[in-house]
Structure 1
Amino acid sequence: MYKIQLLFVFLVNIFCVAVNGQEFLPGPFPDRIVLTWSDDPRTSQTVNWRTDGQTRISYLEVAEADASPDFPSGAKRIQAETSFLEVDGVSANYHTVKINSVLPGTLYAYRVGQEESWSEWYHFSTAPEKDQPFSFIYFGDAQNDLKPMWSRVIRQAYSAMPEARFMLHAGDLINRTHNDREWGEWHYAGSFIHAMIPSVPTPGNHEYNRDDNGNLQLDVHWQKTFHMPSNGPEGLESSVYYLDYGNCRIISLNSQEIILDETSREKQAKWLDKVLSENKKTWTVITFHHPIFSSKEGRDNPEFRETFKPLFDKYKVDLVLQGHDHTYGRGRNLPVGVTNTDAESGTMYVVSVSGPKMYNLTTERWMDRAASNTQLYQIISIDGSTLSFEAYTATGQLYDAFDIVKGNGKKQWKERVPQNTPESTALPKHYLERLSKKEIEEYHKVYSEQD
């Protein structure tokens, strides 16, 4: 009888894997290791990881990195804060350590675990004390087919910029709220990259659902996975926040709450006004999920734009990084009277997508550069008074680029679009099959590339 029961369990597990794909179950060895910041990037580092539900105590060991293999002898051990989560049939403990005893501009080695169940040693670098040139990576929606298709994008991005100081994710990291397997794929795709380059995430609509009372509910994995600065409005601390890296202030807004909750929209606008008014950094980058100007046909977020664009204009926000529309669009939507080469204000708006789910472009074109049916990642570099933006395809080809140069209270915008790279706006066959003849004609009036 016992052998029959074992056979039954085996067959059930095989069936589940066949139907749902690979299972990512926790064990005593740490997995889902992610770096974030809940404090100053110069003097702190937050590390998050997961084990099975039986592993209630876990540790982090950290030491200054050294070329000698003897560095572990000087490692400091810190016990993690641990919390339990059971969701989607998976029970696990999530562990977090905020390291405060680190020096600016220093390379550290760390590992996590306990007894005989330790991770490998990873490296992280603290931000320098004084401003220095740095780069970061920006991803639009990953969302679907994370293991088979998004993995190539994050790995190509890391290959291109292994010294990136952080990775910014503009929402919809996964597709189905509270889905543990999809989070397993997200972690698998990034693997050791998540454990060596901090993540700066903002949530999208796919990280949300509604509870039994109809209230918006953020994915239960979010606060277990990402521990960000708690300087946001009350009740939104895990998704609305700002952090300063070098001479740049990065701000995350929660656009799902903005779109669907008027009270939250007003609360975030009031908070943002204060954060921007107190900002003394050279550069201001804001990220959220739903675009101010949509790049997909048939979408618009007027209540979002009407509330927040005046603040962006007032405080001369430099760059807004968005997702949601599963296309690429980049433009300034310039105010009246501002020229392309001498803009004292004006914000560059970018929408991008890193995963394989694609939509068709809007025919209400506001973009200076656009793309459809293309997986991309972006590298943003800041060096004093110059910000450089480069968008690359999943195969590593430069697709779009521009520079912003500041001086004498003005901005100069310098286009660097590759001359030998035409816009990727052709409609794929499966788009042609679902669009009407009139829709295709309207599309061709806007985008010169014929299908």
Structure 2
Amino acid sequence: MKNVFLAGLLVAAVGVGLMALRENTEAPVSSLSFLYPHHLSVSWETDPSTSQSFSWRTHDTTRQSYIEYCEATATPFFRERVQRMKAQTEPHRADDGTWNHHSINIERLRPQTRYSYRVGYGEYWSEWAEFKTASGKNEPFSFLYFGDVQRDIYSLGSRTIRQALRDKPDAKFLLFGGDLVHRGALNRENWNEFFPAGGWIFQNYPLLATPGNHEYATAGSPDYLTKHWRLNFAFPQNGPPGHEEETYFVDYNNVRLVSLNLCRYPIDKPGTQAMLSWLEDRLKEFRGDWVIVMHHYSMEQLARNREAGVRFPEFKALYERYQVPLVLTGHEHVYARGRMEGKWPVYVVSVSGPYQNAIRFTDWMERAGTSLQLYQEINVTPTALHYVAKTAVGEVYDEFTVSKAKKGGLQFALGTKLGPQSLLPPPDFTTRYKKEVVATYEADRDKYLQKTR
């Protein structure tokens, strides 16, 4: 009878445990998938030639996690060479349950070396994946840029990410210009879609991102960047104090990549001034070939229902003073490329997800686009930045080259085989926008096309 009683208690305990798991996960209880590490991505906290950072998530029942890694080899018999390190773990109760977020930064790696790794604990491990450290040399390479993914991430945003990697499998890393998701404080329909949309790509290609306004839990305050941002990623902490993992820089070979969280502007005036001073110091000290800046908000509002005007005049002046060649932005859910008053930098506004706005045409635009999902390939050499914008089906939409002139300064060359511009407003244009904005669209479009022909 005692054994029967204990067996009954065990069955009851298991039932309670399963009920708790059902409440804390979206996956069916019959599935073990939630027990395995997921939301796994690689990035950098420190030098890309000698380090790699990792972030992943497990269910609350897995309260510690490890990374195993070694130099990659063609044979599967490499277990005796594997090193193991314990990750830092932070629990977080989210809208879909309680999760443990794990992160680690591995240093003292060899430059230009391919490594295999997996993460997990006990019986539950990720698949083995690979990354390759940077060479640290002044040599050609390519990377990919994505504007807002934001909505319908898994069903439609995923196709842009996947097409980009089919097209450019030798890309060294991925940049995301903010609004990776629609509601940054929520996992459901947000982070739970973003990571599966990238899938194995995020496990093998380092990812860097700058925060967008939709990564904020509450709009209108610099203090509410969702906790999910730092839980889901392991970015550099070399920005101004209090801006860690949102304003930062990474030196990849001969390029300095700068992320600015201008969502703080102007609601955090002390923080904005600190960011401005920090940026000028980073521009002054850099001795490499190229600086590329990334921030979410574009330099000017371009959605047709928004007002004209430069958003960040102090930053614009700084870019011009130091001849920053390229600034990558998003937020407007349209495509635009051009130079303001004919000065450097070239500003790019892009969108990789399906949510689209009608465009407000401005004088500085040299090429525009609407109702398109796009990604950007940037090919780097010591003397040139070759930029190609492509659609979600891999067609070239825009192309230009910034190169160093022999007598100093920069020069611009437009691609020679660009097709017509896509300027069709979204299907709900007439219902989403005010009548006067709709009524003037065709005349504004025709004036813009006449100027750019």
* TM-score scaled by length of structure 1: 0.89
- Structure 1 residue runs of 5 or longer lacking an equivalent are 336-344
**1:405 Cα offset (Å):** 1.0
Moved more, 233-242 or 437-446: 437-446
Identity of aligned residues (%): 37
Of 54, 62, 65, the residue aligned with 1:47 is 54
Task: Name the structure 1 match of 2:239.
Answer: 232
Q: Distance in 2 between matches of 1:378 and 1:360?
A: 21
Task: Name the structure 1 match of 2:146.
Answer: 139
Task: Name the structure 2 match of 1:246.
Answer: 253
Amino acid at match of 2:402: I
Amino acid at match of 1:416: G
Task: Name the structure 2 match of 1:339.
Answer: none
**1:438 Cα offset (Å):** 4.6
Q: Distance in 2 between matches of 1:122 and 1:63?
A: 11
Q: How does 1:63-74 map to 2 (within 5 A)?
A: 63-74=70-81
Pair 436,309 (structure 1): closer, same or farther in 2 beyond 3 Å: closer
Amino acid at match of 2:369: A
Pair 275,26 (structure 1): closer, same or farther in 2 beyond 3 Å: farther
User: Which portions of structure 1, spanning 4 or more consecutive aligned residues, are displaced by more than 4 angstroms?
Assistant: 300-303, 433-438
Task: Name the structure 2 match of 1:362.
Answer: 360
Task: Name the structure 2 match of 1:299.
Answer: 306
Q: Distance in 2 between matches of 1:155 and 1:188?
A: 11
Of 155, 158, 162, the residue aligned with 1:151 is 158
**1:75 Cα offset (Å):** 1.2
CA RMSD of the aligned region, Å?
2.7
Task: Name the structure 2 match of 1:410.
Answer: 409
Q: Distance in 2 between matches of 1:215 and 1:260?
A: 7
1:327-362 deviations in Å (ceiling 9; x for gaps): 000001134xxxxxxxxx611000000111110100
Pair 68,301 (structure 1): closer, same or farther in 2 beyond 3 Å: farther
Amino acid at match of 2:381: D
Q: Distance in 2 between matches of 1:431 and 1:48?
A: 40
User: Is the 8 Å Cα contact of residues 221 and 264 (structure 2) preserved in structure 1?
Assistant: no
In the alignment, does 2:60 pair up with 1:60?
A: no
Task: Name the structure 2 match of 1:389.
Answer: 387
User: Is the 8 Å Cα contact of residues 166 and 199 (structure 1) preserved in structure 2?
Assistant: yes
For the residue of structure 1 that corresponds to 2:270, the secondary structure is helix
Q: Distance in 2 between matches of 1:435 and 1:217?
A: 30
Q: Distance in 1 between matches of 2:239 and 2:384?
A: 28
Task: Name the structure 1 match of 2:264.
Answer: 257
Task: Name the structure 1 match of 2:4.
Answer: none
Amino acid at match of 1:169: F
Pair 67,82 (structure 1): closer, same or farther in 2 beyond 3 Å: same
Task: Name the structure 1 match of 2:122.
Answer: 115
**1:410 Cα offset (Å):** 2.1
Amino acid at match of 1:352: S
**1:417 Cα offset (Å):** 5.2
Q: Distance in 2 between matches of 1:403 and 1:72?
A: 46
**1:363 Cα offset (Å):** 3.0
- Structure 2 residue runs of 5 or longer lacking an equivalent are 1-10
Amino acid at match of 2:192: G
1:75-114 deviations in Å (ceiling 9; x for gaps): 1111111111111141111111211131101111111112
**1:73 Cα offset (Å):** 2.7
Q: How does 1:263-412 map to 2 (within 5 A)?
A: 263-299=270-306, 304-335=311-342, 346-407=344-405, 408-412=407-411
**1:378 Cα offset (Å):** 0.5
Q: Distance in 1 between matches of 2:109 and 2:307?
A: 45
Q: Distance in 2 between matches of 1:172 and 1:331?
A: 22
Amino acid at match of 2:411: Q
For the residue of structure 2 that corresponds to 1:260, the secondary structure is coil
1:227-279 deviations in Å (ceiling 9; x for gaps): 11111011111200011011110001011112422222111111111111111
Amino acid at match of 1:204: G
Q: How does 1:188-199 map to 2 (within 5 A)?
A: 188-199=196-207
In the alignment, does 2:203 pair up with 1:205?
A: no
Q: Distance in 2 between matches of 1:432 and 1:115?
A: 56
Q: Distance in 2 between matches of 1:301 and 1:235?
A: 31
Amino acid at match of 1:359: N
Q: Distance in 2 between matches of 1:214 and 1:25?
A: 39
In the alignment, does 2:35 pair up with 1:28?
A: yes
User: Is the 8 Å Cα contact of residues 358 and 426 (structure 2) preserved in structure 1?
Assistant: no
